[in-house]
Chains A and B, each alone.
Chain A
């Protein structure tokens, strides 16, 4: 049997650039705009007037956090982006890719949630990747900064949400510092791809149209993640990967995942999965930001391909044992045995 080709995703890819002030976001953006890649790029920037490329479609927006539901951080979106993305969609034929440059202190969650919360945006735009710029020489002081109770550390959150990390200014840090920074990044976001750079110079193929929300690609970059179980229950921000052979009972999975995200969604920043649903010929591909989920059936399972379920969580207070227990109970076989 041949695998049916997947329909081409015609949605406009969107890259979100995060990183502290001085980490090199604008330098990277100027590289993106001046390289000869043939793409017409629209830029939305929250830090005004820094992108200096003639003819670029650059739109300024003032960051506006909007609560859809009182007091629920999982239901916050960015009002400024909703407006401006809506306006851009009416000029759809004028560009091929959108970059959003956030402020240094921006919380990535409402930015990402904007793409999950609104159906019109989700139908026309695809969050391609969250790219976080990290200043190799100075990031540790931001990571170590003590915050008041209940206030998140922005540097940790920007790393936790990242699909790609550009470890910038490696020429300004010694080898021991760089090794330690990489260790600190991996402690938060274990499977993330780290791209070393000087003056924010990188191969643009590493950040443009990479489909970084695709777990299969994440695991291709970092195949050992799901079998690495050294991280146990931890009160810091960290990541847990689970690889479970077999097929899942859809109803049980939906109940477990729904309950998990309802009760722990505040602490679960990102989640991604490629799952085998009993009776389904296609892979079930899922991604989430806090409580919001997006899922679809992906490619066909190939002939002879073992059915398995791969799931990644990145967040705070993750209890690996409880997650593994809950996920295992969703196996179709577990239901039959009970």
Chain B
């Protein structure tokens, strides 16, 4: 099932029910409690050779470090299968304490 967004600027904020749906899918796949914050953002990729837009999923539990996963496609093209495959993999490091 495609979890697309309405049309919008490629790097702008992505509000709306589709984003909520994507977040709910992340919550369900990772079995997160309601205190855990989920952030999803489409960003311009800075790595050479990568597609120009990527979707970052970040998860912030109350009792542990933040984790993130990067999907190398625009948020509007991310499917539940994409999320399942990505979230099964190891998260990337994102957090540090100054």
Contact = CB atoms under 8 A, between A and B. Distances in A.
A82 B40 CA distance: 12
Interface string A48-90: 0000000000000011111111111001010100110011000
Interface in B55-71: 56, 58, 60-62, 65-66, 68, 70
B15 A123 contact: yes
Given A63-B97, A63-B98, A86 B37 contact: yes
B95 A87 contact: no
A123 B58 CA distance: 18
B47 interface: yes
Interface in A80-123: 82-83, 86-87, 105-107, 116-120, 122-123
Interface residues of A, number: 34
A329 interface: no
Given A67-B94, A69-B46, A83 B62 contact: yes
A71 B46 contact: yes
Interface string B28-45: 000000010101010111
Contacts of B35: 83, 86-87
Contacts of B13: 116, 119, 122, 294
A75 B66 CA distance: 15
A234 interface: no
Interface of B: 9, 11-15, 19, 35, 37, 39, 41, 43-47, 54, 56, 58, 60-62, 65-66, 68, 70, 92, 94-98
19 contacts: A63-B97, A64-B95, A66-B58, A66-B60, A66-B94, A67-B94, A68-B41, A68-B43, A68-B58, A69-B46, A70-B92, A72-B43, A79-B60, A83-B37, A83-B62, A107-B98, A123-B15, A258-B11, A294-B13
Which 9 pairs show the lowest CB-CB distances between chains A and B? A79-B66, A86-B37, A119-B15, A118-B39, A66-B94, A66-B95, A68-B56, A66-B66, A82-B37
Given A68-B94, A70-B92, A120-B39, 10 more contacts: A63-B98, A68-B56, A68-B58, A69-B46, A69-B54, A69-B56, A70-B47, A79-B94, A86-B35, A258-B11
Interface of A: 62-72, 75, 77, 79, 82-83, 86-87, 105-107, 116-120, 122-123, 254, 258, 262, 291, 293-294
